[in-house]
């Protein structure tokens, strides 16, 4: 899963959110050097990633991007999942995406000293460009992939990814909805995290 999903799956705990956000940048046993709840968030991040990578629905979604991205297809799927989460946010949270993004930003800034240097480097960019909210649009997700293509090992192929997403949109959205339901249940059962989901009639 990508940034928005990890933040969302942290529930209301600020320290857990910080740990979940920085999980990719804390290797091995380095988590032991963080305050307990941040360390727990880092471990939550790892468990979410393990659940995602092993899930048959996530593996199925990678098929649509494997021709262009090879073994990086899973990274593209993670970004695509953030698109569906952002675009259908009202189905998953009882507060607006804008309010959630502002709260997340304030929590991360308040805990800036705990962020790894690489995260400190890109957080201002993420906030300035309202990246979490931008995931809701096709253009926003394309820009995110374009940035990742420049600054990470992800192949710079945002346009083919966009076309694959658009062509397979209904299938990928159904895939996401089923997967996300199972992931929410997983973090609830394994970590006791309660999410402020809208009440279903």
The number of helices, as runs of H, and strands, as runs of E, in the chain is 12, 0
Report pLDDT for 108: 97
Whether 200 is in a domain gets the answer no
For residue 128, tell me if it sits in a domain. Answer: yes
Give pTM, 2 decimals.
Answer: 0.94
Structural domain includes residue 163 = yes
Percent of the chain with pLDDT over 90: 85
Residue 55 structural domain: 3-191
In a domain, 154, yes or no: yes
**201 in a structural domain:** no
- How confident is the model over 63-115, as pLDDT tens digits? 999 998 999 999 999 999 999 999 999 999 999 999 999 999 999 999 999 99
- Average per-residue pLDDT for the chain: 93
Q: Return the top range by mean pLDDT from 26-40, 153-167, 183-197.
A: 26-40
Q: Does residue 196 form part of some domain?
A: no
Total structural domains within the chain: 1
Does residue 41 fall inside a structural domain?
yes
Pick from 8, 196, 193, 151: which is nearest to 84 by CA?
8
Q: How confident is the model at residue 8 (pLDDT cuts 50, 70, 90)?
A: very high
Is residue 46 one of the residues assigned to a domain? yes
Q: Are 109 and 30 in contact (CB under 8 A)?
A: no
Q: Are 86 and 132 in contact (CB under 8 A)?
A: yes
Say what the pLDDT of residue 201 is: 39
């Amino acid at each position: 899963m990508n940034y928005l999903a990890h933040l969302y799956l942290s529930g209301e705990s600020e320290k857990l959110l910080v740990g979940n956000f920085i999980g990719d940048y804390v290797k091995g046993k380095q988590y032991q050097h963080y305050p307990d709840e941040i360390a727990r968030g880092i471990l939550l991040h790892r468990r979410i990633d393990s659940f995602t990578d092993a899930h048959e629905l996530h593996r199925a979604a990678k098929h649509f991007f494997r021709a262009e991205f090879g073994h990086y297809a899973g990274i593209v799927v993670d970004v695509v999942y953030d698109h569906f989460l952002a675009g259908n946010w009202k189905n998953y949270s009882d507060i607006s995406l804008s309010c959630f993004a502002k709260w997340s930003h304030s929590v991360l800034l308040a805990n800036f000293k705990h962020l790894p240097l690489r995260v400190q480097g890109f957080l201002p960019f993420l906030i300035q460009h309202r990246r979490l909210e931008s995931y809701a649009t096709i253009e926003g997700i394309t820009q995110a992939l374009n940035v990742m293509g420049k600054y990470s090992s992800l192949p710079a192929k945002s346009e083919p990814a966009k076309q694959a997403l658009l062509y397979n949109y209904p299938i990928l959205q159904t895939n996401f909805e089923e997967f996300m339901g199972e992931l929410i249940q997983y973090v609830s059962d394994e970590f006791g995290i309660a999410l402020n989901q809208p009440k279903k009639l």
